[in-house]
A = this chain, B = another copy of it.
């Protein structure tokens, strides 16, 4: 990616070379099946156990509370569907509470429960910054609420949700309700202490913090009722079958350790660049505004609504300049739908259409940021000219 500017680190990140080197032996030398009893299998098993211990330490959890999965979406699905089904079977509880600004992995998992398992879902509103009020969340909790799912940080507008407050408040109303947090966007940049957060379940995805795509993690507090979703061999204590992807699990572990060992430098680096983006864009482009919370936001996330400019056109024009950015979340940025997040924030359609997300990473440079700030004004002007229905 020489001469290109990557400002979409919330969508995915490149693999850290140190992560790559940590993974390599598990394809080439120690490729045994961790379920095998002989030496090359036992070596793979030890690497897996060791990875679990190290991930547990970073999350302030126990090793047997860590379940390795194939992606962040799988982690969210396992927590939400698995816990909800268990509560339905054990107690007849069929109600789930979540917010309107969750990632599709959460929203669609809830819809699946409604469609296939007869659950009722309550979607809690957010304020203009995308924040959930803990009081609104607890007001929605009922005696039959099986699961509350609240994201740690929003993927589109970067707003950090008051997860610890919500978890405490929910438990005060219904101590048996399982509290899950989708921490996919927060992983690698916000603290992940599950005791401090007070959650029963927490989902992470490796590729958001410089591990490869195709590996995730679910923290599940001991004693949390769960119906497993993926049946088979007894891997992950029977909770998640499938021969373990030892290479990626080791890679994710190293990536997580690096992220938290280097946390203060990383946060300082990405947030300084983010602040320059926010300042540069809002000061140089009339009719632009920051979306999401001004201060309680992901250190790497600068998101905007640009009046009268079509987001897709902005992206295509930036792409032609070799600048990679996003409009809405990556998972749906190939579509023309208006983001459900921006709708929930109450943005008028004309502004929501002009959404632009710029997310910095450890490799982002000041030069990258200045380049974006230099070229964006002319692009916005051009795009506004060809977006007549919105400027007319």
Contact = CB atoms under 8 A, between A and B. Distances in A.
Interface of A: 1, 4, 6, 8, 11-15, 20, 27-29, 31-33, 35-41, 69-74, 76-77, 81, 85, 89, 103-105, 108-109, 111-112, 116, 205, 207, 212-215, 227-235, 241-248, 312, 315-316, 318-319, 322, 324-326, 329-335
A203 to B, nearest CB: 11
Contacts of A329: 233
B247 A214 contact: yes
B233 A36 contact: no
6 contacts: A11-B33, A12-B243, A36-B324, A37-B315, A74-B242, A214-B247
A232 B331 contact: yes
Most buried by B among A27, A105, A213: A213
Contact of A233 (B104, B315, B316): B104
Copies held by the complex:
2
A305 to B, nearest CB: 19
**Pairs A-B, 3 closest by C-beta atoms:** A214-B245, A233-B331, A70-B70
Contacts of A36: 8, 11-12, 324, 326, 330, 333-334
A105 B238 CA distance: 11
Nearest to A11: B33
Contacts of A105: 231-233, 241-242
A85 B116 CA distance: 9
Given A36-B333, A70-B70, A112-B228, 7 more contacts: A13-B31, A31-B212, A38-B318, A70-B245, A74-B230, A233-B331, A234-B335
Contacts of A234: 331-332, 335
A362 to B, nearest CB: 14
A104 B243 CA distance: 12
Contact of A37 (B20, B70, B205, B316): B316
A31 B11 contact: no
Contact of A243 (B69, B205, B232): B205
Given A212-B245, A215-B214, A334-B35, A233 B73 contact: yes
A242 B212 contact: no
A248 to B, nearest CB: 6
Nearest to A14: B31
A72 B247 CA distance: 17
